[in-house]
Amino acid sequence: MLLRIYKILWWIILPWVLLFRYFKDKKSGHGFCYLFERLGLSRTTRPHDIILHAVSLGEVRAMTPLVFEIQKQLPDLSILITTTTLTGRKQIEQSFGNTVSVAFLPHDIGFFIHRFLKKVQPKILMIMETEIWPNLLDSCQKLNISTFIISACLSDRSQKGYAKIPKTIQQLLKNVNILAQTVEDQNRFLAVGARKVSVMGNLKYITVLPDDFNAKTQTLLLAKQNYLLWCVASTHEGEEKIILDEFKKIHKEFPQVKLAIAPRHPERFSSVESLIQDHGYRYQKRSDMGFDELSFEHTDVWLWNSIGELLYLYGVADIITVGGSFVPIGGHNILEPAYLHKVITVGPCIDNIQDMVTQFMEYHAIIILEQQDLYAQLTPLIKDPKMRNMMGQNAYLCIMKNQDSLSHIMDALHQCVSQEGQ
């Protein structure tokens, strides 16, 4: 009954969803460019052996090692990677070129989803983390598509929400293979009625550096010179003002400290630039110059208004603050800077990454910053290079303890492929 109501509601809200998506895409210069693809009506859709779904940029990056491993171990499998954001799509194209296909996953409307899956004819669907789309899972059951949720996580809040509709969730998850991040996640999925649940770890703990990483970071190191760089990444509305206000106090006492801000969403680049101007900072935009043209000699702030280049910035930063954590977003991936032996700090709003942060705290590898004490908490890191080095080493050790997730997925995939071949 609830599933039927869900299907009807989607048709009711579809015009508003399309209007919202048009204005969001228009800010990035795309307009109605991908309208038909978001409805599963693209003429270019063709059969593939496996669909890998990564909702946005962070999930695409986390899935990157898996894609390379599938191409290495199962080179005959044709791969379609789906996403829901423009930044996710661009990252897929940059990372894999024409070795995979890319498309937007259609909106979760039964007719469009079913038609899309019938055209693609996948044998396997792997969904990154916890994207429980009822019509997608329902169609996969009807079409006998082997379905996995990998690196799956389920918060206490989500578990309580799903517990209110137990029959519907049990029906949707009864044939889904769930590879959970932690034992706690496994127990939460079992509690809401999932049947096939095992623990694999977190795929985000595996980082693959681009081939040009060393060359580009060396160029950026020359641009950074001997200044100490505070990088604030994946910021959302409201966070940049907090950071820029605090930076004024920090820069006054420590003029050797410079700031780089990397907003999470491209459509906000111009508004963040205006905010930097309002604060009176001298700044440079990544989009205006190459790595070899950047400099802090007469600049206080770098506005990192590019896509897919955050790793290079991490590579030269001395202190990293990961955004989405000073406003109620829930936090973003802290593992890439950890892989690069960097000092990691976050704000207090970390619901999405609480398990990760807990592990890092056990290793003394992260600091949770409070807005009112941000200046005081950063000061010891600025003054003490030994402290920065120790925290960076501890962060790296933490992620090295979590490197088995990829093998768990590949074992499950090999087993599934052999069963399909029988």
> In the prediction, which pLDDT does 19 show?
79
Evaluate if residue 136 carries a pLDDT over 90.
yes
Query: In the annotation, is 237 catalytic?
Result: no
300 lies in the same domain as 413 = no
Residues 114 and 234 in one domain: no
Tell me the mean pLDDT in the region 51-61.
90
pLDDT at position 238 is 97
pTM value is 0.74
The domain containing residue 312 runs over which residues?
213-400
pLDDT tens sequence across 153-182: 888 888 888 888 888 899 999 999 999 988
Give residue 408's pLDDT: 93
Q: Are residues 192 and 73 in the same domain?
A: yes
Tell me the average pLDDT across 317-324. 98
413 and 395 assigned to the same domain: no
In this structure, the answer to whether residues 253 and 217 fall within a common structural domain is yes
The yes-or-no verdict on residue 230 having pLDDT over 90 is: yes
Among 30-34, 166-170, 342-346, the range with the most confident prediction by mean pLDDT is 342-346
Domain at 187, CATH number: 3.40.50.11720
Q: Same structural domain for residues 46 and 118?
A: yes
Q: What is the 3-state secondary structure (H, E, C) of the chain?
A: CHHHHHHHHHHHHHHHHHHHHHHHHHHCCCCCCCHHHHCCCCCCCCCCCEEEECCCHHHHHHHHHHHHHHHHHCCCCCEEEEECCHHHHHHHHHHHHHHCEEEECCCCCHHHHHHHHHHHCCCEEEEECCCCCHHHHHHHHHCCCEEEEEEECCCHHHHHHHHCCHHHHHHHHCCCEEEECCHHHHHHHHHCCCCEEEECCCHHHCCCCCCCHHHHHHHHHHHHCCCEEEEEEEECCCHHHHHHHHHHHHHHHCCCEEEEEEECCHHHHHHHHHHHHHCCCCEEEHHHCCHHHCCCCCCCEEECCCCCCHHHHHHHCCEEEECCCCCCCCCCCCHHHHHCCCEEEECCCCHHHHHHHHHHHHCCCEEECCHHHHHHHHHHHHHCHHHHHHHHHHHHHHHHCCCCHHHHHHHHHHHHHHHHHC
**Same domain as 368, residue 417:** no
Question: pLDDT tens digit string along 211-220?
Answer: 899 999 999 9
Considering the domain architecture, whether residues 185 and 200 belong to the same structural domain is answered as yes
Same domain, 258 and 328: yes
The CATH number of residue 388's host domain is 3.40.50.2000
Does residue 43 register a pLDDT over 80? Answer: no
Is residue 253 domain-shared with residue 386, that is, in the same domain?
A: yes
**Higher pLDDT among residues 409 and 44, named by residue:** 409
Q: Are residues 377 and 411 in the same domain?
A: no
Same structural domain for residues 41 and 155? Answer: yes
> Per the residue annotation, which of 37, 59, 240, 336 is the catalytic one?
59
Tally of domains in the chain: 2
